[in-house]
Structure 1
Amino acid sequence: MTLIVVTDLDGTLLDHDSYRWDAAIPALDLLKDREIPLILSSSKTAAEIAPLRETLGFSHCPAIVENGAGILEGGDAAGEDDAGETPYGRLRDVLDALPADLREPFAGFGDWTVEEVAERTGMDIESAARAQARRFSEPGLWSGSEGDLDAFLAALGKHGVSARRGGRFLTLSFGADKADRIAEIAPRYAVDGSDPTVIALGDAPNDVGMLEAADIGIVIANPAHDPLPALKGEADGRIRRSRLPGPEGWNESLLSVINDTNFGV
């Protein structure tokens, strides 16, 4: 059986508060030993994901960046393969053209200084600067009412902009999501015409489509926010939930799935 693993980062492979992943080393080593691709899938930018992917030992694998708005190809150190004009400038133009009463309650990474990004994310300055190197999407915080949020999203929708909620931020982008990118990447690993079995791990609302699209979905516990509601496929066991949070739950759950003798039958 050919497997690929697709994983969210913050709150899933990375600890929600410390961003550490040490607890996941046994499962990461198993993936390397068995040459199972690890596809990082996150709201993070290519500039953020590239050094992490290299440190983890999976720089040869593609990664899904900015909530599925783009792909960082394997071996591409910082997104150079996609150099040139990107959708981010157009997205900011749409955002800034909104009426003031709709625009003002939304503050995105492009509205903040690097110090403010660092403060709001808990990152150091260097990491915050990489998070601001956006190519496809704009995460931010909404400070208005729910009614005004509906009007804000409707106005953006007229220009093809959609929004997804992650663990911390509301992220704006044009088009594709994490599930769309899995559908694009998975066939690359087909063997003899058969697509690989996809295992996906995530913790937040923006991971739901990815979890439900996978052959096996694993919801990682994250006490920092409300648990996800019951997902399609959970009742029949295709989607399961971790016992432990963050990288501890990631490690335990993934080892269990991969080593399960009944898995994939």
Structure 2
Amino acid sequence: MKKIIIAVIIIVVGFGVYFSMDNSKGNISSGKSFSYVLENCDGKSGLQKDTCLLQKASFAGDLSFCSNDHPGYSKDECYSEIAATQNNPKICEDNADDVSKCKDSYATSELDISKCVTDSCKTQVLSWISKYRLEESDCKNFTSNLQKSAFSGADEYSKKYQCTEFVADLDQEASYCDDLTLIGVDQRKIDRCKTKASKGNLTFQNCTTRMGYGYYRDACYYSLAKQDNSPGVCDFIDVTVLKDRCIKAFQ
């Protein structure tokens, strides 16, 4: 009888944990992916620990975390991270000392130029949007048809190189870089392309710490999802076009 009771308790507790996991941000379908949210911050120190704790606070919407001093970011940067994760710019309005800077960080993370306060924010968002458009349209054609198409002029040459490097990095597929020999790219650039496309051993913490906000972090999450075969990581991607690409990769 005791064994039955213990078994029931384990099942109930397990279900409760899984339910809370599944609702921590969006619908995280993979049990493995939840470890990316509640990564154990014990044993970390300095910026690594603060970044780990900030991620927890962001997904929990815990604004009290930002009231303390942190070595790697300001209070306003802390609030903007939570605002972006919670998709709630009012967090900036109600809490930040520099509301404009906080909102700009939020807008950049969301790639939404209409939410920008300053011109520099608009420039940054436009730059990242252009990268997405390049990858989603022209880059697909360039990377799949390099053998068929002759480049004419520096602009097209540069675009093909940038496209190939970008898609190789995004897909973590170094073999794409070999096609660059077909358009006369020098070996140094090909080696750089392969290096970027062969990072490997990505972790959720590395993506967050190294990539900061917006496009670069989302691209890292995409690569991480493919590396770990964990579709749940796609839920952390903010920008719709890359999130959709990530989800489709597992369908």
**TM-score, with normalisation over the residues of structure 1?**
0.26
Greater fraction of residues in strand: 1
Greater fraction of residues in helix: 2
- Give the structure with higher Rg (CA): 2
Greater relative CO, 1 or 2 (CA 8 Å, sep 6+)? 1
